[in-house]
Structure 1
Amino acid sequence: MTSTRLRFTKMHGAGNDFIVLDGISQDLSKITKSQWQALANRQLGIGADQILLVEKPTAAEAEFRYRIFNSDGGEVEQCGNGSRCFVRFVREKGLTKNKTVKVQVAHTILSLTENDDGQVTVNMGAPILLAEQVPFNAAHLKSKTEGAATLYELNLTGGSIWLNPISMGNPHAVQIVDNINTAPVELNGPEIESHVTFPKKVNAGFMQIQNRHEIKLRVFERGSGETLACGTGACAAVVSGILRGQLDSPVKVHTRGGDLTIAWDHQASLESPVMMTGPAQTVFEGEITLE
């Protein structure tokens, strides 16, 4: 039996926690799905919501390639809170001196900027609003419009809900709830995540609107369960609220792990990029042996 020794950094963005691995100076190509699961295990491993890989880019316009694995070992397309940790990591490790870094993810090139106050701003790109591109199968479902948003009725075990499917490079289903503290996140989250209408599964967002510039948010993430914060989920929720005519940019998003600020100039164009600003923090560094 052979073993692999890995250097890692533990980080978090508003409580959404990550294992960050430098795939430029060490070989990560032979790590298996079960080993990703072992690393993310909170009792037997390091523990994390997601594992972030820093790699050499394959796109000429990017400085780095950015890959994400959920705690269940599956690779996903995007992670907003992880993006902020990514730029903090590559700057702290001396992999770049640039304050604004362009990174290649599964669907696009992201622009990440570390601000003078230590906060990190990420250009998350334009939201994807067409149901089939989320992807979401809207056939045979009841629908209604609210402002500029199209909502769909989903029948769950505990009753029906109205949700707004949106992609921020990864799929989200946003619903408005009266009280974030009593919202059935643990009950409905897993059922929404794996619902047949979402062929690639989905992140289930539960949004409580406080005023036109402030919301509370909980997200049940596919492959990870409920996390303390979800950056792409915050972006999707704000986009949904603006389209519904209930929010105005910028919006402060209160998550259980901290606050994020989301801005979207939809009046200029629905294809305007969503800008996310929030914290990124290094917790500790270490080495671990994978059998």
Structure 2
Amino acid sequence: MPLSFQKMHANGDDFVIVDARNAVNPMTSAMVQRMGNRNRGVGFNQLAVLLDCDDADARVMFWNADGSALDVCGSATRGAADLLMREADVTSITLRTNRGLLTSERTPTGDISVDMGVPLFGWSDIPLAQELDSTVLPLAGNPAACSMGNPHCTYFVDDLASVDIATIGPAIETNVLFPLKTNVHFVQVVDRKHIRLRIWERGAGIALGSGSCSCGAVVNGIRRGLLDGSVEVECDGASVTVQWDGVGAVFLIGPVEASFSGTMSQG
């Protein structure tokens, strides 16, 4: 039976939405890998499945292109919220994720703002393989770590152009310090309200953008005393805004766009 999908992107960070409400969840790791193949499938960084939910407008489950599951994806959460808000003709919606309940709103400019929850810093919450201060990890380059529902490791560098992301990214992603692997960010601070960010995404590789990585990078920059509470995050694809007061929830704000819809054979 053909599987229907919607392809979307957030500043080039591409993802697929599969609507399985009122149906059996069709997604398996093998099917995700087939769809995620950029030569033989649809291609994406993440996939989100919409499911029925009793305490929210929908439940959302997330997958990486390599067939591994993850608890949250900022870009795909905003994409799912955008679709459901258009469907219901509302400007606010709540989604149930493994990260918890995430509320999204459409801003007056048409962007989607999502409450990404409170960041976690405890070594066992990220998680790290041993008890450490997550503000400065004992790795070359002294990165910081946090969790936004998935693990993040942030390097602050003077010149992004000099960083070999394709080599360093996978080495840090699979470092023994990160038992569940990690997203890896490389941040160049332009000023206290603006950063340049390049990303090695866990299970996906180099990405044009990432909502949760943008959040993790800003949170770690604020913890280091480098950034203010509202920051423009300039990724390879374009920019998003991340806001954090240093205590509560992190807010991710930016556009999402539909690319195309289609069907793919499940066999």
After TM superposition, the score normalised by the length of structure 1 is 0.88
Deviation at 1:242, TM superposition (A): 0.9
- Is 1:189 equivalent to 2:174 in the alignment? no
Q: Partner amino acid for 1:46?
A: V
Of 6, 10, 31, the residue aligned with 2:3 is 6
**Would the aligned equivalents of 1:50 and 1:68 in 2 still touch at CA under 8 Å?**
yes
Residue 19 (1) aligns with residue 45 (2): no
Partners of 1:181 and 1:84 in 2: how far apart? 30
Equivalent residue for 2:257, pick from 267, 281, 288: 281
Q: Say which of 208, 224, 232 aligns to 2:204.
A: 224
Matched AA of 2:241: T
Match of 1:157 in 2: none
Question: Residue in 2 aligned with 1:208?
Answer: 188
Counterpart pick for 2:71 among 73, 77, 95: 77
**Equivalent position of 1:40 in the other structure:** 36
2:84 is aligned to: 90
**Cα distance per residue 1:36-70 (max 9 Å; x no partner):** 10101110011111111111125x2x111011110
Gaps (5+ residues) in structure 1?
144-148, 155-159
For 1:187 and 1:117, locate their aligned partners in 2 and report how far apart those are by CA, in whole Å.
39
| Amino acid in structure 1 at the alignment position of 2:226 | Q
1:161 correspondence with 2:146: no
Which residue is equivalent to 2:116?
124
Q: Distance in 1 between matches of 2:22 and 2:206?
A: 32
Asked whether the equivalents of residues 203 and 219 of structure 1 are also in contact (C-alpha less than 8 Å), the reply is: yes
What TM-score do you get using the length of structure 2 for normalisation? 0.96
Separation (CA, whole Å) in 1 of partners of 2:238 and 2:85: 23
- 1:146 aligns to what? none
Q: Does the alignment pair 1:175 with 2:160?
A: no
Unpaired runs of at least 5, structure 2: none
Pair 1:151 & 2:151 matched: no
Range with greater deviation from structure 2 (31-40 or 248-257): 31-40
SS at match of 1:131: coil
Q: Percent identity?
A: 31
The corresponding residue for 2:57 is: 63
Give, in angstroms, the shift of residue 26 of structure 1: 4.2
Q: Is the 8 A contact 1:14 1:81 kept in 2?
A: no
CA-atom RMSD in angstroms: 1.5
The residue type paired with residue 282 of structure 1 is A
How many residues get paired? 267
Greater gyration radius:
1
